[in-house]
Amino acid sequence: MSTATIERTAPVSRPARVHEPIPMTRLVGVEVSKMFNTRSGFWLLASSGIAAAVATIATVLFAPKDQLGYGNFAGAVGFPMSVILPMIAILAVTSEWSQRTGLTTFTLVPHRGRVIGSKLVATLGVGAVSIALAFAVGALGNVIGSSIAGVPVRWDVSLGSAALIFLADALGMLMGFTLGILIRSSAGAIVGYFVYALVLPAALGTLASFQDWFASRQGWIDFNFSVGNLYDHIPSSKEWAQLGASGMLWLVIPLAVGLWMVRRSEVK
Amino acid sequence: MITVEALTKTYSRFTAVNDVSFSARAGRVTGFLGPNGAGKSTTMRMMVGLTAPTSGTATIKGRAFADLPNPGLEVGVLLDASAQHAGRTGREILGIAQRTMGLPRARVDEMLHKVSLTDEEAERRVKNYSLGMRQRLGIATALIGDPEVLILDEPANGLDPAGIRWMRDLLREYADKGGAVLLSSHLLHEIEVVADDLVVIGNGRIVAQGTKADLLAAAGTLARADRPAELAAALRGAGITCTLNADGSVRTDVGAAAVGQIALQSGIALVELRSADSAGLEEMFLELTATSQRDSTTPSTERSAA
Ligand SMILES: Nc1ncnc2c1ncn2[C@@H]1O[C@H](COP(=O)(O)OP(=O)(O)O)[C@@H](O)[C@H]1O
Ligand SMILES: [Mg+2]
């Protein structure tokens, strides 16, 4: 342990080297591998696959024959995804602070906006692949389940509504990402996400049922509510506008504020 | 290669780093020395852009850190060896640095070898690393891009004596090959062996800087006698300020000749008379930083009244 061989005995001054800037594609690749190579990250990703498989098997086993159809399978695999993907997004951001890896990350790349940007691309990429895989697992379950039950295979989900589920899951992930940037602590951001996803809908639902002025405006204000519509039906143009408005309030503005804070904050 | 100019960092009303200027030159190890809370880490964080300075600038090879296109290839940084993801293996952590900098994969194994982490240790999660192993991994991360400048914050913490010796040799060789090393520590002993230049910080301010040789020369004389108290009294009688240390040695700022002369006149037999070197530097360090010390204890049991 005590000795080390140092191979070069080079001259005292070295020729000046010119370095290329780090390309964004490389940063995205590094961020993707950082999402996989921790134990927590690995199990989160693995659990999204496992959950999709379990949900599919459960649907095969328990769904009534006459109700077997891709809609059921997509719904079954979609729910665990909508919980796990935001967690993946949160940890991709917050581990830099909670695990203090930011000390290295932000010295190797002293532009925090670029680091966060590549995390965003990596997160959405991993999310898209996960959702596609889940859909594929669901499709496989639909084929196998229908043939076991001896009923014709039903594809009762339009491409349009599949795209909307995709969008809704991506927005959930972005919400997790935003909370991660705003709170910058794994535990805090995860709690924050569950407040957003579980506590707030109940509270705002109650408010809407008692207060007409809120009920008539909920779509414009309540992002979770507007995103929930995506799972349900193809939105009207008014609902798209509501999604945009509430998204501005819940996603775009907090993300901008969070980015501004991240760029100014001290990393230690 | 590193130039720090008038760096200042103020937290609400507390000034952690106050108008700090110094430089670290190529081919030399610069020791950045100061007690806990003196502002060493804050200064180093400002140098690499992790903390925004309230005022002042830090440049590396004439450029701001953020303007380096691929900083890892030009500056090796180790600020806190414990700041790693506990769930990653040592090899994975090095791999992230290697990929970010765009280096060949083989560099990871080269570096593991260089810092004497075995293959088996490299596959362990960092959670199960000792502090010394984390320091080695941190050094490997700093060196992987073969940079010309190294910035290391207390890298000897947690290393065993053999590890400290290894680190010292590594940094020495690095500087001898033309690199600039800035190395912080709160322990004088750790730094004085390897440093060529010293920058001493206390309470956020630079209190002394220069080559180690110059600072040592200013450190005075150390004498031992079979009757130390009498020697101290004799020196004071001659109007010379001196300190009687707990170990029976007497230190003074005047030269050895003057001390010998007074001892002879007073009929006191000296058993040792030499330049105070590190003992003097230590004392100077404690004096210079005394106001920032949380403990007001001094190394001597008795201080000169004169
Ligand atoms: N975010 C902060 N807010 C207030 N004070 C701080 C902050 N960060 C550091 N300090 C203070 O700045 C001083 C210098 O700290 P530091 O640079 O870590 O010292 P060193 O590394 O020399 O031990 C300490 O007194 C510390 O408490
Ligand atoms: Mg420190």
Give per-residue pLDDT as tens, B155-185.
998 899 999 999 999 999 999 999 999 999 9
Query: Do B176 and B247 share a domain, yes or no?
Result: no
pLDDT at B49 over 80: yes
B63 touches chain A (CB under 8 A): no
Nearest ligand, CA B32: 1
Across chain B, mean pLDDT equals 89
Considering only CA atoms, which residue is closest to atom 16 of ligand 1? Answer: B39
Residue B149, classed as helix, strand or coil, is strand
Quick check: is B90 in a domain? yes
Query: Do B61 and B172 share a domain, yes or no?
Result: yes
In the block, tokens 């967690």 appear at A87
Considering only CA atoms, which residue is closest to atom 20 of ligand 1? Answer: B37
How many structural domains comprise chain B?
2
Give the pLDDT confidence score for residue A96 in this predicted structure.
95
Nearest ligand, CA B43: 1
Residues of A in contact with B116 (CB under 8 A): 1, 4
Quick check: is B263 in a domain? yes
Cα B103 to Cα A224: distance, rounded to the nearest angstrom: 44
Bridge partners, B15 (sequence order) = B10
pLDDT greater at residue B255 or residue A254: A254
Mean pLDDT of A128-132: 91
Q: Which chain B residue has its CA at the smallest distance from A106's CA?
A: B50
Query: Do B44 and B148 share a domain, yes or no?
Result: yes
How many structural domains comprise chain A?
1
Query: Do B75 and B167 share a domain, yes or no?
Result: yes
Query: Do B109 and B12 share a domain, yes or no?
Result: yes
Quick check: is B287 in a domain? no
The reply to whether ligand 1 has any atom less than 6 angstroms from the CB of B41 is: yes
Quick check: is A267 in a domain? no
Nearest ligand, CA B38: 1
Residues of A in contact with B52 (CB under 8 A): 264, 266
Cα B108 to Cα B99: distance, rounded to the nearest angstrom: 10
Query: Do B246 and B130 share a domain, yes or no?
Result: no
Amino acid at B295: D
B68 touches chain A (CB under 8 A): yes
B303 touches chain A (CB under 8 A): no
Quick check: is A191 in a domain? yes
Cα B112 to Cα B139: distance, rounded to the nearest angstrom: 10
Handedness of CA A42, A44, A48, A50 (dihedral sign): positive
A15 touches chain B (CB under 8 A): no
Across chain A, mean pLDDT equals 89
Cα A253 to Cα B48: distance, rounded to the nearest angstrom: 29
The reply to whether ligand 1 has any atom less than 6 angstroms from the CB of B209 is: no
Query: Do B116 and B67 share a domain, yes or no?
Result: yes
Quick check: is A142 in a domain? yes
Token pair for B279: 């003992």
Cα B219 to Cα B94: distance, rounded to the nearest angstrom: 43
The reply to whether ligand 1 has any atom less than 6 angstroms from the CB of B37 is: yes
Q: How far, in Å, from the CA of B15 to the mean position of ligand 2? A: 15
Q: What is the pTM of this model?
A: 0.86
Is this complex's ipTM strictly greater than 0.90?
A: no
Quick check: is A166 in a domain? yes
pLDDT at A6 over 60: no
Query: Do B187 and B225 share a domain, yes or no?
Result: no
Quick check: is A114 in a domain? yes
Domain range for residue B246?
Answer: 220-279
- A108 vs B170: CB contact, 8 Å cut-off? no
Quick check: is B215 in a domain? no
Query: Do B262 and B179 share a domain, yes or no?
Result: no
Q: How far, in Å, from the CA of B26 to the mean position of ligand 2? A: 24
Cα A163 to Cα A165: distance, rounded to the nearest angstrom: 5
**Residues whose CB falls within 8 Å of the CB of residue B201, separated by 6 or more in sequence, listed in order:** B20, B32, B33, B34, B38, B39, B40, B43, B207, B289
Closest ligand 1 atom, residue B45 Cα: 17
Mean pLDDT of A250-262: 95
For residue range A209-249, what is the model confidence (pLDDT) as tens digits? 999 899 888 889 999 999 988 888 889 999 999 999 999 99
**A251 to chain B, minimum CA–CA distance in Å?**
27
B104 touches chain A (CB under 8 A): no
DSSP B129: -
Give the pLDDT confidence score for residue B199 in this predicted structure.
95
Residues of A in contact with B100 (CB under 8 A): 22, 26-27, 30, 108-109
3-class secondary structure per residue, A139-172: HHHHHHHHHHHCCCCCCCCCHHHHHHHHHHHHHH
Mean pLDDT of A79-93: 92
A245 touches chain B (CB under 8 A): no
Cα B226 to Cα A93: distance, rounded to the nearest angstrom: 66
Quick check: is B24 in a domain? yes
Quick check: is A10 in a domain? no
Nearest ligand, CA B35: 1
Quick check: is B284 in a domain? no
Report the CATH number at residue B246.
3.30.70
As residues whose CB is below 5 A from the ion ligand 2, the structure lists B 41
- Substitution site in B11, B17, B186, B292 for ligand 1 pocket (most atoms within 8 Å of beta carbon): B11
For residue range B288-302, what is the model confidence (pLDDT) as tens digits? 666 555 554 444 433
Query: Do B149 and B230 share a domain, yes or no?
Result: no
Quick check: is B34 in a domain? yes
Domain range for residue A254?
Answer: 24-258
Concatenating the DSSP letter of every residue in chain A gives -----------SSPPP---PPPPHHHHHHHHHHHHHSSHHHHHHHHHHHHHHHHHHHHHHHHS-GGG-SHHHHHHHHHHHHHHHHHHHHHHHHHHHHHS-THHHHHHHS--HHHHHHHHHHHHHHHHHHHHHHHHHHHHHHHHHHHHHHT--------HHHHHHHHHHHHHHHHHHHHHHHHH--HHHHHHHHHIIIIIHHHHHHHHHHH-HHHHTTHHHH-HHHHHHHHHHSPPPHHHHHHHHHHHIIIIIHHHHHHHHHHHHSPP-
- Substitution site in B9, B18, B42 for ligand 1 pocket (most atoms within 8 Å of beta carbon): B42
Quick check: is A1 in a domain? no
Q: Would residue B5 be called left, alpha or beta, if left means φ above 0 and alpha means ψ between -120 and 50 degrees?
A: beta
Query: Do B95 and B26 share a domain, yes or no?
Result: yes
Report the CATH number at residue B115.
3.40.50.300
Q: Which chain B residue has its CA at the smallest distance from A27's CA?
A: B100
Residue of A9, A108, A119, A260 for testing the chain B interface, max B β-carbons within 10 Å: A108
Q: Which chain B residue has its CA at the smallest distance from A16's CA?
A: B148
pLDDT at A60 over 50: yes
Query: Do B95 and B47 share a domain, yes or no?
Result: yes
Quick check: is A77 in a domain? yes
Quick check: is B300 in a domain? no
